[in-house]
Structure 1
Amino acid sequence: MTELSRLIPAEWRVIYNNPLQTAGDVREFRMEGDAAVSFPMGRMRLESTRDAAEGQAANLVFWCPEQFPANLAVTWDFWPVREPGLAIVFFCAIGKEGQDLFDPRLANRSGIYDQYHHGDIDAFHISYFRRRYPEERQFHTCNLRKSYGFHLVAQGADPIPDALDAVGPYRMLLMKQGTSVLFAVNDLVLFSWQDDGTTWGPLLGGGKLGFRQMAPLIAEYGKLQVYAP
């Protein structure tokens, strides 16, 4: 049992387990944006194949194909490899009218940020390794935002070292239970927030999970697990 396991209700069970070790493990994942997926260390490496000078056009989102329930806990291993850049996890992502995230009636998405917070989807997202811009590299935070919209609803300190000093893996945990959202790295809870279902829009239910990176970040991921009641 890991230290993080104590934060997940004892009665919850693993409903999805993906080691993220080989191309076969992500065969059904969906990439939005131009990016390379490789496994040089036996774990999933993501990096943009476009020049970071192209701005938002160089960024990516890599979606897990599964539809997950409203109450869930997600854990994964994270390694920052090269900076600058920014890493985000999306969850509870769904069309604004309840469509599946991959419904062809939804507008095309290509990694450009506005498409995810002011497009035709609703989602939570946590930016947890923010090193893209100078001000982010001076003061490290993890931010929880709720969309539709660009609502910053919770914030906590980022304990992950810069890539040059990182040893990893850093075990990440996000948990959504009822109206609460919790985020932790290793055994440290960074924030816990309650959604009133009004101030920032209606409560979000089940949906998709995805990893986003801002170029030129290179990062690696492993041991993706999802728990649910």
Structure 2
Amino acid sequence: MKNSYLFERGNRLYKNELASSQDINGWMLEGEAKIIFEENRLVLENELDPDVHGDHAHFVYWCPVDTPSNVIIEWEFHPIREPGLCMLFFAASGCNGEDLFSPHLPKRTGKYSEYHSGAINALHLSYFRHKHADERAFRTCNLRKSNGFHLVAMGADPLPPVEDAISPYHMRLVKYEGIVQFMINQLPVLEWKDDGKTYGELLSGGKIGFRQMAPMKASYSNLQIFEALLTKKNEG
């Protein structure tokens, strides 16, 4: 596919190598997870057994900083163990504009329904969907908008199974007003433009968070957030 819009990095708003425990001060875990560091990378895996705890074994790990509406989010992803699923929440806030961590919002525990049909709005990108047999048989990256669990865009997933992975994979997510783009290793994967009507009003700023579905194990590094600058709209 070819992106309809081209963006470049503006001012860097946040940088985190995710290399040591000091780098995750203030990060918020919802659900239960093992959080360690290996080879200067943040490693996440489930604490609870999914065969026993079901959907309660999954978790979300939130970055504490607020992002504006127009951002480029980049990070390096290293799949370690599957099956499982990895996702990024972004532009996340309360449905009435509350800060995501407001004590007035219901407690969240990592169960997916709390995020797609609960008290928050967010965009969520599933970029490593190897949890179920049908996901592994036909791999896609999915973009959803919530509140409401609306599937708004899909793209082919170029990421291989763990045994064939050559990490790291460089992830680049752009959100510019209603436009969302996602690339892996500079390969365009999906693009979508929200009209602000079909699935509710445009989402603006908010927080980002990594979600994993057990028993996935993965690591993350070199998280950076930049101001997004629109440089060109491709014609045709």
Alpha-carbon shift at residue 41 of structure 1 (Å)? 1.7
1:62 counterpart = 2:51: no
Q: 1:42 aligns with which of 27, 36, 40?
A: 40
| Amino acid in structure 2 at the alignment position of 1:137 | R
1:224 counterpart = 2:197: no
Superposed counterparts of 1:40-189, under 5 Å: 40-53=38-51, 54-189=53-188
| Amino acid in structure 2 at the alignment position of 1:89 | L
**Structure 2: runs of 5 or more not aligned:** 1-5, 229-236
Q: TM-score, normalised by structure 1?
A: 0.95
8 A contact 2:90–2:208 mirrored in 1: yes
By percentage of residues, which structure has more strand? 2
Superposed counterparts of 1:9-20, under 5 Å: 9-10=8-9, 12-20=10-18
Which residue in the other structure is 2:205 paired with? 206
Q: Number of residue pairs matched?
A: 223
Alpha-carbon shift at residue 27 of structure 1 (Å)? 1.4
RMSD of aligned residue pairs (Cα, Å): 1.1
d(CA) in 2 for partners of 1:149, 1:26: 30
8 A contact 2:177–2:202 mirrored in 1: no
**Percent pairwise identity:** 48
Which residue in the other structure is 1:22 paired with? 20
Per-residue CA deviations over 1:171-216 (Å, capped at 9, x if unaligned) read 0011011221000001101111110000011100100000000000
Runs of 4+ in 1 over 6 A off after TM superposition: none
Corresponding residue SS for 1:135: helix
d(CA) in 1 for partners of 2:56, 2:165: 28
Alpha-carbon shift at residue 8 of structure 1 (Å)? 3.7
d(CA) in 1 for partners of 2:206, 2:199: 18
Alpha-carbon shift at residue 118 of structure 1 (Å)? 0.5
d(CA) in 2 for partners of 1:152, 1:25: 33
Alpha-carbon shift at residue 42 of structure 1 (Å)? 1.1
d(CA) in 1 for partners of 2:148, 2:124: 11
d(CA) in 2 for partners of 1:185, 1:119: 30
Per-residue CA deviations over 1:119-148 (Å, capped at 9, x if unaligned) read 000000000000111101111100000000
| Amino acid in structure 2 at the alignment position of 1:140 | R
